[in-house]
Every structure is written in C-alpha cells, then in structure tokens.
Amino acid sequence: NPYAGLVSRLRAAWLSGKTRPMGYRVAQLEALGRFLDEKKQDILEATALDLGKPPFEAEFSEVLLCKNELHETLNNLSHWMKDEQVERNLVTRLDSAFIRKDPYGLVLIIAPWNYPVNLLLGPLIGAIAAGNCVLLKPSEMTKNTERLMAEELPGYLDKDCFAVVTAGVQETTRLLENKFDYIFFTGSPSVGRIVMGAAAKHLTPVTLELGGKNPCYVSDACDLRNVARRVAWGRFFNAGQTCVAPDYVLCSLEMRDKLLPALREAIVEFYGSDPKESPDFGRLVGDKQFQRVQALLSSGTVAIGGQTDAETRYIAPTVLVDVQPSDPVMQEEIFGPILPIVTVASVDDAIAFINARERPLALYVFSSDHKVVNRVLERTSSGGFCANDTIMHMTLTSLPFGGVGRC
C-alpha cells in the first residue's frame, strides 16, 4: 500500500507519547493560529480561484470561524484535559476513581470542497486538542486550496505527528485500506457509505457529516423583510454550497405571494441587479456540479433568476415556485443557489412534510409567534434548529454540531 509507510510513521509518533502533554498540544494549536494569520491572504486567493469566493465570505467562513474554534479550545484545554473524579461507594471509599479523556491515536480527516479550509482545520483543532496524530486529506476538487494546504501547512506543524496527503478517488480508496484509530469525513452520503465500509473492516469509529435537505418553514405571522433577507443570505452564501443552508421554503400560498417580491428586493440589495457582475456572489466548484444544479432548474417555475453561464459556472440566485414534492429539485440536496418554495396549508402540514423525509442537518422556522416555533421544535427532529435566522447557530462554538441519521 503506497500509504503504509506514512501511516506507520505517524502511528509510531503517537505511540511515543509525544502528542499527549498539554504544552505540546498548545504549541501545535498556536502554530495553527499563526498559519491562519500569516496565510490569510493566500487562503482568500486560493478559495477565490477555486470557488469564486468573495473576500468577506472566505474570511468569515474559512478563517474567522476557525480562529474562534481555536480560541475556544485554547481557553478551555486545561479544563477539558483534567480527570473527572466520580463518586465512590462504601467499599471503594479509600480508592481513587476517575474518568480520563484519552486520545484515539492516529486520526484521518477527509475534507470536502465547499469550505475547504474550515472543514479541514476545524476537525484538526479538535484532534490536536485531544492529543492525536493526524493525517489530513484536503479535497482534490479545490486544487488551489489543496496545494496551499499540502505545501504550507506542514511547515507550521510537527512533521513527525501531522501530515497532508493529496489524493483523488483511487488514491483515497487505497488510503482507506490502512488502519486508522478514528476517521472524520465530511461529504456526500454515497461517499460516506464507502468510508464507513472501509472503516468497518478495522472496526474504526467514524464521524460522518453528510448534509441533507434543510427545511425552512415561514409562518403567516412574521417580519417579512427579515425573513427575505435572512433566507436569501443563508441560501445564496457561498453560491448555495453550504450543508446547513435552507434548502427549501414551506409556507402558505398567501405568504409565498408576499415573500417573492421581498426575496427579489433582498437579492438586488445583496448582489445588485445583475448578480453575475457582483463581487459578492460566488461560483459553482466545477463543471459536473454546474451541470447537476442547472438540471434542477427544470423543476417547477422560475420566479426569480434562472440565468446561467456554463463558461464561468454561474447560476443566478434563483427562486422556484409551483414545485411538487416529486420534482427532481426535492429529491436531493441542492447544494447550489436555487430556493424552491413548496406551499402548505398549515404549520401541522409543514411538520408532516418534514417528518415524512430524512431528518435534516438543520431546520429553520420564521414566526413572530413563539408557540409556532416551539411546536415545530418539539414535533420534529434535526441536527440543529434555528428560529428567525439561518446558519447563525454555526457561529457559536458553545453549541455542538452534528446531524441525525443520514446527516
């Protein structure tokens, strides 16, 4: 196996105990912070080349969120590492009994292309903090960011304990033949099954973050301008290529007719009358993704947007109406700048619609009636829940992140 030597070397480094002391973990985390500071401009340029990411979006989602995670970890590491003393019974009164948080060992992190820095370095922060050695595999879809990570990141971290590999599908398949002690994968459900199958051969524990279709229910009682701006921002940020973006709107027919002009106004406010010329609107990552998302425009009726340009992989911020649950756009995670609106008669119909499908990674509700918000919260299941906003729960390092089932 072409990666056996590298895996063996990293495992030997972990077995040496080098990564366990708190001082070592802090030093590596601080070095990662320096990488984010010193290579910020390179990160902005690489993500702009790969995804057309606007500077604000890239700095916020790729750099700032990582630094927040880093600061939270450094501030709490000493506390997290302490043994947790537990109660003893009569016969063990004179003994010591405690829970110790032990590193897994050698961790493999496989990152996706939509947030190629954040979703590589975010898991790395946790793995370093827990005292592991790590093998990082950036996405091959974002070539410029992949090159930056492979060439620059190892210069900041201990090369004995941390390594970056560049690999396509065939090479990653060979990489997964090796035994790891933990695998952290972010990507599609189809590839997630492959990763889980490979891990099962070694009984390796895995974390799979696989995305999904995130509903957004808009009740008749709401602040229309706020709804339009926050839904548009959440949906069209990173050209819709966000795993927690609102994937579709559920609302009454009356609310749909009010929401459409408000969404149109918000899109113009954010991206101008021609979003193709806007410096604040990104592009799809590759031709295959462009063709897949473009094909979804045939669902329902285009009410806003719909323009495309294959040469630049541009798809305009688009809103679809007259969408049926059986339409292609409702059968898969969109992962592009398209927002379907599906009409429902009531909040109970919306809840039934949501519960008839896979449990989402995120669920959004807009209502000025807290009873409506609580009703949806109590009667649905999702990885994350956000009322009267979108995506913002992701900015809280104090909240856990994860999905339910296929997410």
* pLDDT tens digits, one per residue of 343-387: 999 999 999 999 999 999 999 999 999 999 999 999 999 999 999
| Per-residue model confidence (pLDDT) at position 8 | 98
Of 145, 176, 210, the one marking the end of a domain is 210
User: Residues 201, 342: one domain?
Assistant: no
Same domain, yes or no, for 31 and 53? Answer: yes
CA distance linking residue 159 with residue 277, whole number of Å: 43
Beta strands in 238-297 (DSSP E): 248-251
Q: What is the domain-level CATH number for residue 266?
A: 3.40.309.10
Does residue 401 lie within any of the structural domains?
Answer: no
87 & 173 share domain: yes
Rounded mean pLDDT of the chain? 97
Give the chain's domain count: 2
HSE-CB of 369 using CA atoms within 13 angstroms: 10
Q: Do 390 and 335 fall within a single domain?
A: yes
Does residue 246 surpass a pLDDT of 80? yes
Q: Average pLDDT of 310-326?
A: 97
* Range of the structural domain that residue 119 is part of: 3-210
C-beta separation of 337 from 316 below 8 A: yes
Q: Pull the structure tokens for residue 363.
A: 């669920």
Same domain, 18 and 90: yes
| Final residue of a structural domain among 210, 230, 265 | 210
Same domain, 114 and 202: yes
Residue 303 has pLDDT above 90, yes or no: yes
- Choice among 66, 222, 243, 251 that is catalytic: 243
Write out pLDDT tens, residues 80-119: 999 999 999 999 999 999 999 999 999 999 999 999 999 9
How confident is the model over 195-208, as pLDDT tens digits? 999 999 999 999 99
209 labelled catalytic: yes
62, 146, 209, 333: the catalytic one is 209
How many angstroms separate the CA atoms of 293 and 56, rounded? 24
Do 110 and 249 belong together in one domain?
Answer: no
255 and 303 together in one domain: yes
Global pTM value: 0.96
CATH at 160: 3.40.605.10
For 8-51, the pLDDT digits (tens) are: 999 999 999 999 999 999 999 999 999 999 999 999 999 999 99
- Point out the domain boundary residue: 210, 229, 257: 210
**pLDDT at site 211:** 84
Instruction: Please name the residue that has the structure tokens 């695998």.
Output: 183
Query: Could you report how far apart the first and last alpha carbons of the chain are, in Å?
Result: 31
Q: Give percent above pLDDT 90 in the chain.
A: 98
Task: Looking at the structure, tell me whether residues 223 and 194 fall in a common domain.
Answer: no
